[in-house]
Amino acid sequence: MLKRLIYTSLTSIGLLIAAGATAQTPTSLQTTELYVGMHRLVAEVASSPADRATGLMWRESMPQNHGMLFVFQNHAIHCFWMRNTFIALSIAFLRDDGTIVNIEQMQPQQLDNHCPAEPVRFALEVNQGWFADRNIVPEHRVRGLQAIAP
């Protein structure tokens, strides 16, 4: 009986440790202010490979008018998916001058790829509907990228 109790306790501790390792709390990333027309966003900047890989995974919500800006070193077809992401998101792929190339809608916990229509270095994730609610479409420009050094 004691062996079983110890085994059960160790198993429970192991599960809690594993859960803690995956259910991460948001890291404190640098933030920047971005503007699309008169609309202001506060964006966390994910510029390291680890920060880009984690993105908004494990978060259950994101404040209104907030987002995450992904910054890559090179222009490429950087595709995104929603594994372990619990928030419905819209993603805009951006040219270096901030012009929106295309906007995709992403559903939580899906493995579908969402890719830019051309090679880019920037992608901006916001709560789903943020762009549509403000009539922001491709060819609109996101201002404030120059403050981010890739």
pLDDT at residue 8, as a whole number: 36
pTM for this structure?
Answer: 0.81
Q: What is the pLDDT of residues 21-35, one digit of tens each?
A: 344 445 588 999 999
pLDDT at residue 147, as a whole number: 81
Closest CA to 98 of 33, 46, 30, 28: 33
User: Burial of 3 by CB count in 10 Å (0-12 exposed, 13-18 middle, 19+ buried)?
Assistant: exposed
Q: What is the pLDDT of residues 95-108, one digit of tens each?
A: 999 999 999 999 99
CATH no. of 26-147: 2.60.120.1140
Domain limits of the chain?
26-147
